[in-house]
Structure 1
Amino acid sequence: MKHTLPLEIEDLSLCFDTPAGKIEALRQVSLQLHAGEILVLAGESGCGKSVLCRSVLKLLPPFAHITGGAIRIQGQDVTAYTERQMASLRGRVVSMVFQNPLTTLNPAMTMGEQLREALNRDGTLNRAEADRQAVALLEMVGIHDGAYRLGQVPQAFSGGQRQRCALAIALAAKPAVLLADEPTTALDVTVQVQILDVLRDLRRKKGLSMIFVTHDLGVAAHLADRVGIMYAGRIVEIGTAEEIFYDPRHPYTWGLLAALPSYSNAGRLQAIPGMPPDMLHPPKGDAFAERNACALAIDYEQEPPMFSISPTHQAATWLLDPQAPKVDPPVCIRKGKY
């Protein structure tokens, strides 16, 4: 019997209509999120990570348009869902935590009011039961003295505590899928690790499936079951955390890894040359070709398909074509080509 995936995205394309023309924000993105899995999406700013998460919940501006593909939540195609239909899924089936809790939490409402609102959307809970569940939620995300903290406004909490409160609100309706859009970026390293540990604990105890967006490959290594590398609106490599960190196959992934201190050559950090392409005018062929030290002639003519390296590992690079010259990624990194 085939098991229904919590979330499946197939060949999703999305553009932004601007006065200058159409910006191709997502280009035929496909991924599957399995039950109880943490999938981390990494890549430079503007590569489409946050847009992809917002697309799942249809939290998009009016000038954004899905131009192709499908989004399936628990087996149900929601690509053409109306706002009313999506409202029935948000929070209850799929929930989202954003980067800055100050823009998520209402500064004029106490934390108790905000948690009760999330818990009692259908109006069936009395005040005492809502408060009991609110305190339990705060305890679950690591905030103690919950009964006292319910009466406080967000300004009375530290940055890490506010993010924990935002996480508690996102979990109030017991969703099956959590989308976390860089929720630790504004936090110091110690608090960041604490939040990551909370998320891992929630996955273990609640069986929660998560997509976690980050720029930080260290965070990805700490948290991920699988990692998807995005570039120019496309997933260019996806695999288990071990495959991405110990057997990367896409030149962009090599470049990201080469920029880590642990990969530095003689104490100098390496940077990927050039800039990401202008998606108002996408380049012909592979979008990464101009920045790729190992680019082949075909990279400037044809966009590469996804090549399978293993049942769990795929990458979109012509270097994986059987006719391509063999390139050893660790050597490329050590020689400072990226």
Structure 2
Amino acid sequence: MTAITRRYVHIDETDRSLSVREDQAPVPGAEEMLIEVAAAGVNRADLLQWKGLYPPPPDASPVMGLEVSGTVVACGEAVSNFQLGDEVCALTHGGGYASHSIAPQSQTLPVPAAYTLKEAAALPEALLTVWHNVFQRAGLKAGENVLIHGGASGIGTLGVGICKAMGATVYSTAGSAEKCHRVEALGAEKAFNYKEEDFVEGLDALGLRGAISVILDIVGGDYIGRNFEVAAPEGRIVNIAFLRGFNADVNFLPLLIKRLTLTGSTLRAQSEAQKGQMVREIRERLFSHLDDGSIKAVIDSEFSLEDTQAALDYMESGVHMGKILLRP
């Protein structure tokens, strides 16, 4: 492969400052591809990595960035599903905040017909997170009620569309009246403004206290016990983050009485084989809804690589709706 110069975001280990540097782009392994990045998704895991609170695994790139979209410019010798020039989006093992990034073919998807190349960068992390937790772990079925906390987040906005497309009735929480209206426009039956309204009381008023089959929770803290209150018998609750803290005073009696399942996961810690299985199931069961635009990602804003610090600060502020992108 002819050497390619890569621009990437570097973290200074002494003061955590960010700068754009250049080096030689990595060479793809046998089942990997080098992608010329059109856009990279900004995720909370990147924010934690920048702060030194979420170090990458030993075999991962030290460069931030877990998802990209772009064009394939080099392929390993065992790559069979894609070829040079293909427009793709992919989950990376780090290295997405760059002009060029490596991705395994098993974690790569074609750009859906209803998406631009840039928009597709908003898909991989949220797609796999929602699919694994809501469908693989919690087993959501058509006709069930699902509650998605943080409905205005990148995961939340896409999750509402996915669950709606798969035949579930969606309820959600978000942090302002405007965000709630927009989440409802995406397909939620009702979104509760958690700054002004208790979602337990809101669901109770709708006759849905004890009728939520699946809950996807990024909040944790006091939401743990409150989720038990609204969960249906045999309900499944999945935690993927704990923004309100890992500790809580919880009455676990409803867990026994209702026979609830409480589980959780992180995506990055899972093996390439596990992520590959998620991608295969998404291709089989979800991709037609992405192709026809019935599931659409929400793009909040775009920043350049040079403005990565501003992008991370903006994410931490919590005012965004949908996905934040970096454009090399």
The bucket for the TM-score relative to the shorter chain is under 0.3
Larger-Rg structure: 1
Under a length normalisation based on structure 2, what TM-score does the superposition of the two structures give?
A: 0.26
TM-score, normalised to structure 1, is 0.25
Q: Could you say which structure has the higher helix fraction? A: 1
Higher strand residue share: 2
